[in-house]
Amino acid sequence: MIKSLLSETSRTMKSSMIRELVASTRDIPGLISFAGGFPSPKTFPKDTLSKLYADVVATEGAGVLQYGASEGDNFLKKELLAWEGYDLPLDQMLITVGATNAIYYMTKALVDPGDVVICEAPSFLGSLVAFEALGADLQGIPLDLEGLDINKLQAKVDELTKAGKKVKMIYTIPDFHNPAGLTMSYARRKALIEYALAMDIPILEDNPYSRLRFSGEALPTLFRIAHDEYHNTEIVTEIVSFSKILGPGMRLAFVKGSEVLIERMCSWQQKVNVTPDCVSQRVAAHFLKEGYMNPHLSMVCDFYRPYLERMLAAMSQYLPPYIQYSKPEGGIFTWLWLPEDMNADLLFEQAKKHKVTFIPGSKFYPSGQEKHNCLRLNFSFSSLEQIDTGIAALGSLMHEFYA
């Protein structure tokens, strides 16, 4: 009975197909998985958090167990601004139930069904399914090694505008891109901001990974560049997730951006969640206030560095020379470009038989814009030995492909 009553969108919307892929490998004994995007539980500061949860509930329980403000805990907001070094009014900031939640609100605030959202191709699948479920016309722009290709962006926006479409936002992951493992160059960041300012197109900067840099020089975020160099805090809306820097189970992210947009996003938060978990918000605030965050991040980077190094070494050793791959200095993913005639969806099925899994690249493109000769590897979840064995097995399969 209920089936015939479902709303149009709910009948047709896609799920994250990664779930089904991962489910299809779940029962393989001894499986080596490069598929997930989960942080290592070994990086969770559980003793510190255990103590902070206990203290916060015992001493501030009357407040944190009560309803909180829809815009988020002001105590947490102030700690975040101090940590990041911004002097912004609190109403340019919103706390949300993780980054996906913020992306959802931003889309609700800006996008009517049929409006265009520009994304990178490939991009984070979780965002793409949310954009599509809200009726966005999702247009992917290719990446080169410096990030989003601005010439192709301009050409696409011109074409869409001529066709009468409204381009409502540009969604980008500049640091340690998921899935491509790339970091946008400084020049490209400036070019993107200047283009967005000239065209009045808001940028949504998704930043889950910038603090996971294991080597090399950090680049300023788009929000930072817009703030410092263009004195603009409206063109870029930056979302920072706590999922990779504290623990995804706490479901927290924070957003900085235009007051108008934050106010509308907050109005959606009232209707969708009322407020994020107030206990976890206050715990995160104390984690910052008591100075735990920066040493914790050093520990996390020290923890992941050998895994990335082993992954890069194994790829160099075992993959055929015609396989290209990104060489990130942080984050949790790398990306392989395969020869045109090598299909990663088929490779996925073969690899499964050899007890190795990854996500085929085709899953990271807007519907109808898929590429099949690419794949994503995660290096934050397997052991060093598994990385070696798994990449060796993948390399053999690729060698066999042309044998």
Interface with its own copies in residues 375-394 (CB under 8 A): none
Contact status: 400 vs its own copies (CB under 8 A): no
Nearer CB in complex with its own copies: 79/388: 79
Nearer CB in complex with its own copies: 15/85: 15
Q: Shortest distance, CB of residue 103 to its own copies, whole angstroms?
A: 9
Nearer CB in complex with its own copies: 280/326: 280
Interactions with its own copies, residue window 321-360 (CB under 8 A)? none
Alpha helices in 319-343 (DSSP H): none
Q: CA–CA separation, 124 vs 339, rounded Å?
A: 23
Print burial letters for 96-126: b (CB count within 10 Å at least 16), e (below 16): bbbbbbbbbbbbbbbbeeebbbbbbbbbbbb
Interactions with its own copies, residue window 56-95 (CB under 8 A)? 57-58, 61-68
Contacts by residues 152-155 (CB-CB < 8 Å, ≥ 24 positions apart): 153/118, 153/192, 153/195, 154/195
Interactions with its own copies, residue window 279-318 (CB under 8 A)? 279-280
Structure tokens, 134: 């809200």
Q: CA–CA separation, 365 vs 372, rounded Å?
A: 10
Contact status: 272 vs its own copies (CB under 8 A): yes
Structure tokens, 224: 């930072």
Q: Shortest distance, CB of residue 354 to its own copies, whole angstroms?
A: 27
Q: Shortest distance, CB of residue 362 to its own copies, whole angstroms?
A: 20
Contact status: 204 vs its own copies (CB under 8 A): no
In sequence order, what are the residues at sequence separation of 6 or more whose Cβ sits closer than 8 angstroms to the Cβ of residue 303?
Answer: 40, 42, 43
Contact status: 165 vs its own copies (CB under 8 A): no
From 77, 156, 168, 188, residue interacting with its own copies (rule: CB under 8 A): 168
Q: CA–CA separation, 403 vs 398, rounded Å?
A: 9
Structure tokens, 201: 């197109």
Interactions with its own copies, residue window 252-271 (CB under 8 A)? 258, 260-261, 264, 267-268, 270-271
Q: Shortest distance, CB of residue 370 to its own copies, whole angstroms?
A: 20
Nearer CB in complex with its own copies: 130/394: 130
Task: Single out the residue of 365, 379, 375, 391 nearest to residue 335, CA to CA.
Answer: 375
Contact status: 205 vs its own copies (CB under 8 A): no
Q: How far is CA 165 from the centre of its chain?
A: 27
